[in-house]
């Protein structure tokens, strides 16, 4: 695994590190494409709050959105759908291996000793 892949995993984990965003992923997996207001209503939050969290998921590549203009009306709706369909399997051993491989890029930040302890 490369340092670039490590950055992608970190971004993915950061985006998933909120209960509301996890609920959004589950909701989109179950229902497919949904309009912003539908998502907010299902989760009992404001559209503004839902949009903030959806943008975080979108920037991590977990969801994608598109604008649909209703025919005969001057109304545009933003729909979100799940983009990420992967599986994420991590272990402390794998993370340590990635950090060691990246050396100077991330190794300096971690400063791990032989048994995994911090130096």
Which residues lie below 8 Å from residue 57, measured CB to CB, with a gap of 6+?
Answer: 15, 21, 24, 25, 63
- Is 46 found in the same domain as 29? yes
* Single pTM value for the model: 0.75
Q: What is the pLDDT of residues 73-83, one digit of tens each?
A: 888 899 999 99
Statement to judge: residues 101 and 80 lie in one domain: no
Note whether 34 and 79 are within 8 A (CB).
Answer: yes
Please report which helix (H) or strand (E) contains residue 41, including its range.
helix 36-43
Domain count, the chain: 2
Q: Are residues 48 and 93 in the same domain?
A: no
Residue-wise pLDDT for 18-74, tens only, equals 999 999 999 999 999 999 999 999 999 999 999 999 999 999 999 999 999 888 888
Give CA–CA dist 15/101, Å, rounded. Answer: 24
Rounded Cα gap, residues 119 and 113, in angstroms: 6
What is the extent of the structural domain holding 93? 89-119
Compute the distance between CA of residue 101 and CA of residue 81 in angstroms, rounded to an integer. 35
């Amino acid at each position: 695994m490369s340092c670039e892949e490590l950055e992608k995993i970190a971004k993915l984990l950061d985006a998933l590190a909120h209960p509301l965003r996890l609920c959004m992923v589950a909701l989109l997996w179950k229902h497919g494409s949904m309009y912003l207001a539908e998502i907010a209503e299902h989760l009992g939050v404001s559209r503004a709050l839902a949009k903030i969290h959806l943008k975080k998921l979108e920037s991590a590549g977990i969801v994608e959105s598109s604008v649909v203009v209703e025919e005969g009306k001057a109304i545009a709706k933003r729909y979100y759908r799940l983009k990420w369909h992967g599986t994420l399997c991590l272990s402390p051993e794998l993370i340590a291996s990635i950090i060691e491989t990246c050396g100077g890029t991330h190794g300096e930040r971690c400063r791990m000793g032989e048994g995994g302890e911090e130096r």
